[in-house]
Structure 1
């Protein structure tokens, strides 16, 4: 739940256009560097949900997850936002493409795509209103892809 709290804070901050800040030393990130940082942050926030989805799919606890950041055929993390004209089932849809391995055997099991629907607190009146960063996460789809064929 803590991870979802941080994720919601990041999503909120992404909506803020300008916040004046002063720092000892400015760090400059290009858009690609910023996207990578956000992707890593989101992966950290969803690590438990990803592990659970993979274990449920393969019916094993020994499955390892890896990410192929260099494959040009897909993005490891894809984020979509609901907007007028592009209505989604949830305010945010997050799709992860992961490579799965059995920790007890050699060889890749698959390149799998796991999709979650995320609804921050403002869309979930049933969650504790004192918790400003709570989100509800729902597994929408688990798609297994053959490891030799890349993305499913």
Structure 2
């Protein structure tokens, strides 16, 4: 009886370890490991910078969306990184020949939403353009803020969330 229990225990342990190796082999064969590596290790400096810009502009984006849709319950944003590669576009206005008062023009493509997870309301895809003057950060000049909304444009979107 003891031999039977040992054999059964050994069989269970062996199958337990071999199952993980088989799954890992299938995982590697399908190329999932490459995707996981890219997601965790290949986040480029550009992507970090785009996330930084979104965080920097978050309050301004939310205020602009609340004003545009006349809905103070708008509190979140969604980004379509997979299909909209230029979620954040940064340009130097001097290079565009534009005599703008802001040296940097930043455009973001977002989808504002409100509500909880189950009753979330999406307002569609919008493109907001901001003028940014880094020299004015930390100064309180009402006539010339460091970040200013230049344009708010609602885009026609074929994708719904």
TM, length-normalised to structure 1: 0.61
Q: Distance in 2 between matches of 1:147 and 1:84?
A: 30
Count of residues in correspondence between the two structures = 110
> Hey, what does 2:130 align to over in structure 1?
116
Tell me which protein shows more strand as a share of its residues. Answer: 1
TM-score, structure 2 as length reference: 0.58
Q: Secondary structure at the match of 1:116?
A: strand
Q: Which residue is equivalent to 2:51?
A: 40
Q: Which residue of 1 aligns with 2:33?
A: none
Stretches of 4+ moved more than 4 A in 1? 104-107
- Root-mean-square deviation over aligned CA pairs: 2.6
* Structure possessing the higher radius of gyration over alpha carbons: 2
| Aligned twin of 1:137 | 147
Q: Quick check: 2:114–2:122 contact (8 Å CA) kept in 1?
A: yes
Alignment of 1:39-118 (within 5 A): 39-63=50-74, 64-72=76-84, 74-83=85-94, 86-89=97-100, 90-103=102-115, 105-106=119-120, 108-118=122-132
Uncovered stretches (5+) of structure 2, i.e. residues with no partner: 1-40
Runs of 5+ unmatched residues, structure 1: 1-28, 129-134
Q: Report if aligned partners of 1:109, 1:147 keep a CA contact under 8 Å in 2.
A: no
Q: Quick check: which one's helix share is greater? A: 2
Conserved? CA contact 1:94–1:118, under 8 Å:
yes
